[in-house]
Amino acid sequence: MRRIIGLVAVLSITVAACASGPSDAVAERNEAPPTTTTTEPPPEGVIVVLIENGKFTPSNLELALEEFWLVTWENMDPPREYSIISRDKKEDGSPLFESPLLLPGDSWQFDFSTVEPDLYRYNTFIGNQRIPGLVDTRPEQ
């Protein structure tokens, strides 16, 4: 008898959990969930680098400039904020490229067709820890 009561209780809880939906407040807001996935490819010529769990994915890019020339960095790492900073310098000593502060969900892109084909290193920081990345735009060797 106890087994039957236990089984009925477990089935009742399972049915209630499976039948539940979003709360009324969530349904009224009619917003997409904060984390979603998409199967839409990026626009032509764009490579997307995700910042997740304190790392770049992918961290090393080889760009064939005839096919891809824009790199977009997307911060998908709440609650951290990042700034992408080139380790290469302009003639005046400033970074070749530097993003504004990227809050979670923000993105920023750089057009590598505006610079000579080369090996470009960049980084961001989590506290004092440097997170490296690399973009290689040199023709295949």
**Domain residue spans in the chain?**
36-136
Residue 2 pLDDT class (50, 70, 90 cuts): confident
Q: Do residues 107 and 118 lie in contact, with contact meaning Cβ atoms separated by under 8 Å?
A: no
Bridge pairing between strands 55-57 and 46-52? antiparallel
Give the predicted TM-score (pTM) of the model. 0.69
pLDDT single digits (tens) 72-107? 999 999 989 999 999 999 999 999 999 999 999 999
CATH architecture of 36-136: Sandwich (2.60)
Residue 38 pLDDT class (50, 70, 90 cuts): low
Range 113-128 average pLDDT:
94
Range 19-23 average pLDDT:
60
